[in-house]
Structure 1
């Protein structure tokens, strides 16, 4: 049954939200109360790819678990990448309540102590990067980074990777490499060059990063109007992890050709990879670092760029100028998030959970030949499904079927690139919870692949 419903259906970046499998889910796995609310949701909210129709209606989220209006619980292995601390961390809520009793908004041209304390704390954690601008969301952070790079270099072109995702605003979509977000949106912002990423599996280079570096150098050497190289340090959507050799060589190439390296760590910073920032794995320092998502603790939308003091020379240019630029509430959330990560030794916990995740997923790969690749770092993992291990034919139908089987049994994650199960739990997940969630995943493989 599960394999039949996907035949000839359109494949896009995530799970197939308009498929007959989604229709079956909504008809048979959602309560009457949720159905009524979902109908209202569809009535009032704009519809868009990857987001509608919604899967279910949530009533609560605490720690690693979401609860729907009927009381069903899901382990959230998606979380929109904001759940580094889990949901509704009590210390974070306390910090926000305290801030609500004081200053809740900071008018432009005025600063506030909470924002200053947040900036001081963040900069103490990013040696070599010592100036910040706060923004309300990740797309805005990338937009500021692009403007700053133009101001610093005097060059208007941007280099990025195909298949990359950096945000949904029109300027950022223009420089990203994920085609689904550019459909029907042209003309795009000019001056963008793209190169294939150094993918470790099922890509143009097949893990040969030397060829990827040759291509990168060729493009930089041929176009002296490229002022910025925008990239995800680690690709979030399907968990692609470049080597230290790649990033150290890329850093040197940017220096050689006068190009600013902008690293987008909006979904992967703050412990997701086992380090506070992913670039720390590579012993490099970017010129501009973009942060967001979990920076607000999963409660307050908050993002920022962090950059070098030498680039702070454009007080005549409005690089950001956002209404909530020095939001006391956002700053309180960011400061509390950084403090909780430190006080609760979450990075050390991630290192322990990484080993358990690796062992479990490798055992799963040994048991189920449909798993062509398992890759990950920290608590960001991708399980790539293929029907033919030689030609790496994408097992899209099976990936979708496994996702819905897991949803039925209380495990939520997203499917990326059509056939990659992206597993991204809260960093606070404990051993028992992780084992329970991975048991649900294993049972889904058994049911789908042996039916």
Structure 2
């Protein structure tokens, strides 16, 4: 029995089976590469599902976490720390938030959504509009906003008052956004649905419609934020200003952290002392990691790099002229390779055998959300292998 097989057997004997049996035990990484317990190397084109924006073992993140862990890891929110304050200031800066905006720190994306749901309730309205195809998290509040029936049905009844409308359909949104609605929750790009990019006009219409009836517009940037799409946040492609955004995944570069940013004084005053809280959220360790991530992205020009490498990737895949590839959609380094037939799981299996980690997010779509440090040469390695991977999946 290999080391990996032994560890996976122990995993099954000790872990609750909500994730099924993983295919690999990973031991370490370097940049955009990871290694399994048997010593095999893989090009990581999933990046912890859009989390490892600096790749693995980035010296700036390693140094920041090491230094902070020796000084102060956790203090609770009875107190604050300089890393917490500095990270809040930096997030307001990169989000382009106006005077009076504020930050709330949690530990994950779903916690950020839970905070935004509470923000919505403080409007005095209980209605919430979300979109078909939406994924906002697994806690019961966030789950009510998530669209997939298989995720929601086993745990119903969930919070009432949530309406799902067709993503990208302005008319459907207009019909649903009434004066009973406290907030509209939309992903700037739908990741779990297969990297669906709405029109610029759709999010602009969402802003106009919510403003007209006094509802909040909450943009879920959990997967799209922190430089992923070629902007710090994907809403910045549209020219709108939301009332709140939710952030997680890439913010800590692998250290768990989530955040909600409220835009403007009136929205920021909706949640007051004692109305929400968290024990671990905004701890010094996670905030030091977040600062290191933002600083490294800025100093290394990774926002622009994500745009350039993502465009190169899309052009290279489409340039292959493969009959099974019907297109590539997405922004920056958040891309989906679209397939004619439902072979994405087979392509992903062949890719893993060949040393590439990709995500078959839909039967006909392969999601790529790699580290932002991915190089053009690494893109070439994957694109060069893709015809063989598709052939193996269709053989």
Counterpart-to-counterpart distance in 2, 1:52 and 1:88 = 27
Which residue is equivalent to 2:73?
104
1:314: Cα distance to partner?
A: 4.7
Check the 8 A contact 2:339/2:364 in 1, yes or no: yes
Instruction: Determine whether 1:145 maps to 2:90.
Output: no
Alpha-carbon deviations, 1:311-362, whole Å to 9, x = none?
2335655343100133000110111111111011111212221221121121
Instruction: Determine whether 1:197 maps to 2:152.
Output: no
Match of 1:219 among 165, 170, 176: 176
RMSD (Å) for aligned C-alpha atoms: 1.5
Alpha-carbon deviations, 1:203-229, whole Å to 9, x = none?
xxxxxxxxx111111122xx4211110
Check the 8 A contact 1:159/1:194 in 2, yes or no: yes
Alpha-carbon deviations, 1:400-447, whole Å to 9, x = none?
221111110011111123221111211101111111122222221233
1:288: Cα distance to partner?
A: 0.5
- 2:42 counterpart SS class: strand
Match of 2:337 among 383, 392, 402: 383
Instruction: Determine whether 1:232 maps to 2:187.
Output: yes
Alpha-carbon deviations, 1:17-65, whole Å to 9, x = none?
xxxxxxxxxxxxxx722111101000100002xx211101111122101
Counterpart-to-counterpart distance in 1, 2:281 and 2:361 = 32
Alpha-carbon deviations, 1:70-120, whole Å to 9, x = none?
111111111221011111211111011111221221233211111111111
Check the 8 A contact 1:106/1:326 in 2, yes or no: no
Check the 8 A contact 1:141/1:291 in 2, yes or no: yes
Which residue is equivalent to 1:53?
21
Counterpart-to-counterpart distance in 1, 2:21 and 2:128 = 35
Instruction: Determine whether 1:321 maps to 2:277.
Output: yes
Check the 8 A contact 2:360/2:367 in 1, yes or no: yes
- 2:155 counterpart SS class: coil
- 1:183 counterpart SS class: helix
- Number of residue pairs the alignment of both structures matches: 390
Match of 2:215 among 248, 254, 259: 259
Check the 8 A contact 1:263/1:290 in 2, yes or no: yes
Counterpart-to-counterpart distance in 2, 1:301 and 1:128 = 23
Counterpart-to-counterpart distance in 1, 2:21 and 2:140 = 23
Segments of structure 1 that go 5 or more residues without pairing to the other structure are 1-30, 199-211, 387-394
Check the 8 A contact 1:163/1:179 in 2, yes or no: no
Check the 8 A contact 1:173/1:181 in 2, yes or no: yes
Instruction: Determine whether 1:123 maps to 2:92.
Output: yes
Which residue is equivalent to 1:81?
50
1:367: Cα distance to partner?
A: 2.3
TM-score normalised per structure 1: 0.83
Alpha-carbon deviations, 1:127-166, whole Å to 9, x = none?
2352000001111100001101211x21011100112101
Counterpart-to-counterpart distance in 1, 2:271 and 2:25 = 46
User: Cα gap change, 1:214/1:380 in structure 2, threshold over 3 Å: closer, same or farther?
Assistant: same
TM-score normalised per structure 2: 0.95
